[in-house]
Chain A
Amino acid sequence: MVMLILAVGCHKREAETPPAIPSGGALSPEVEYARLRTELSLADSGQPYLVLNVPDTLLEVRLKGTPVWTTRLDLIESDRGDLDRFTRKFTGGSKTWVRPVAGLHLFAAQEKTPDSVLAIVSEALNVKKELLQRDVPERFRIYWSESLMMDVVSEIEGRPRSTLANRVIEARTALRKPFGAARITVRLAPDDALTLHRLTEPGLATLLLHY
């Protein structure tokens, strides 16, 4: 039974593999035009959007078509095959260039400002410390539809938000993998991880550039 389920899962994954974009090649004018128009629509919205810029190995946030936050797409724990699988699944045979973020999970984080400093400031401003504090993530995960995931890790040691919740989510991910889940893991500097984590919320448009 298990073998049958696995076989169906693998078959489904194979069937989803689109042949439309040759890796390393240029886009056809039709696809390039669709991508440009998609980005123009995102720029028109006036909202920031996330760009997974695979050809330039960059992770960007753009606002009105302009890069406002740029960092290297530094992949770890995954090889080129994971990225290829992720991009194929994301673009669905060059039909979709943009997907909204579907969810976010923070595994572990460190508080940015010492409590002793915030205690003084919060008293002076008469505001709660929590309002001024920022979580610097050690690890968080961004979800898109169809089991697409990107883990972001940074080189700090954080405190788990909930060990049980983290384990349950890991177990769910492991169970989904045979059924076509695609995950990449990127390493960011702590400041960048903080920005990306705070900026990312369900609905944030994500544009994939993939040649």
Chain B
Amino acid sequence: MKRLLWILAIILPLALTGLWFYGRSVAPVIIEANHHLASADTAAFRLPSDPKAAKRELQRAQKALTALRPKGLYVVIDTHANLLYLRTQDSVLMKATCSTGYGGELTDSTTGRKWIFNTPQGVFKINSRVENPWWRKPDWAFIEEGEKPPDDPRERYDSNMLGKYALGFGNGYFIHGTLYTRLLGVAVSHGCVRLGNEDLDFLFKRATYGTPVYII
């Protein structure tokens, strides 16, 4: 019995120490609250002592926040779940499965040019609306297939690839249709946002020039 207690007295602290170290290694890294806003408190943002000035300042802050929000419809693209929403501040009109950029890289071995196929994140606006769009294939579309980009621009056009409509939101990025509807929901695009036909119809009828597009 005494011997058993001795063994336990040695093994138990060792086991607990091992477990403690293991616990530290698997536990999430807790970072310090060093975000510049972590200290945002009532002391950091003080209202003026004069009640009228304080009221004006409060109203100004409320207006500034309200002004940031779109008054009408806006599009949200969730690149994490591959979902596209058409919504207002209070309600969602459409939730559709889409395909966004897969995040891969391509390097042109002859020139060293490099492309990263991500859907950009941030706030954009619809800046073009095209019916029956033709795709002007960029260089990467040929390089990816192991071909040389053609000198004749006419060889770059493809009338089938983008579906019935395309909504541009800047820098050559579009929300458009797809031939590969079975892959909707998987991040397989080169950065554009692919939608199914019915959802694209619905969106195209409602998203006008200037409609905000938020991408997360």
User: What is the interface of chain A, defined by CB distance below 8 A to chain B?
Assistant: 29-34, 36-43, 46, 48, 61, 63-70, 94-100, 102-105, 112-113, 117-118, 121, 125-127, 131-132, 134, 141, 143-145, 162, 164-165, 168-169, 171-172, 191-192, 194-195, 198-199, 202-203, 205
Chain A residues with CB under 8 Å of B206's CB are none
| Residue contact B61 to A37, C-beta cutoff 8 Å | yes
Pairs A-B, 3 closest by C-beta atoms? A103-B28, A65-B68, A165-B26
Q: Does B7 contact A (CB under 8 A)?
A: no
Chain A residues whose C-beta falls within 8 Å of the C-beta of B92 in the assembled complex: 70
From B35, B43, B102, residue with most partner A Cβ within 10 Å: B35
> Cβ of B41: which chain A residues have Cβ within 8 Å of it?
34, 94-97
- Taking the nearest CB of chain B, how far is it from the CB of A150, in angstroms? 13
Main secondary structure, interface of B, reads loop
| Assembly CA distance A39 to B214 (angstroms) | 18
B93 at the interface (CB under 8 A from A): no
* B31 near A202: Cβ-Cβ < 8 Å: yes
Q: Are B38 and A100 within 8 A (Cβ)? A: yes
Q: Give the residues in chain B near A42, CB-CB below 8 Å.
A: 37
Tell me whether A33 and B45 are in contact (CB under 8 A): yes
The answer to whether A195 and B40 have CB atoms under 8 Å apart is no
B44 interface residue, CB < 8 Å from A?
A: yes
CA distance A144 to B46 in the complex (A): 26
Contact A40 B37 (CB under 8 A): no
State in angstroms the CA–CA spacing of A205 and B33 once bound together. 10
Q: How long is the Cα–Cα vector from A39 to B38 in the complex, in angstroms?
A: 12
Which of B130-138, B165-173, B185-193 lines the interface with chain A? B185-193
B214 and A102 form a contact (CB under 8 A): no
Most buried by A among B33, B45, B76: B45
Q: Does B23 contact A (CB under 8 A)?
A: yes
Which residues from chain B contact A143 at a C-beta distance below 8 Å?
28, 30
- In the bound complex, CA of A168 to CA of B30 (Å): 16
Interface size on B, residues (CB 8 A): 58
User: CB-CB < 8 A to B187: which residues of A?
Assistant: 132, 134
Report the Cα distance A32→B41, complex, angstroms.
11
- Shortest B129–chain A CB gap in Å is 22
B12 at interface by CB-CB < 8 Å: no
Bound-state CA distance A199–B214 (Å) is 14
Query: Which stretch from B78-86, B150-158, B197-205 is at the chain A interface?
Result: B78-86
List of A residues within 8 angstroms of B80 by Cβ: 134, 194-195, 198-199
Partner among B31, B58, B144 whose Cβ is within 8 Å of the Cβ of A29: B58
**In the complex, which residues of chain A have a beta carbon less than 8 angstroms from the beta carbon of B31?**
100, 102-103, 202-203
Whether the Cβ atoms of B58 and A95 lie closer than 8 Å is: no
**B118: min CB distance to chain A, Å:** 11
CB-based contact B28/A172 at 8 Å: no
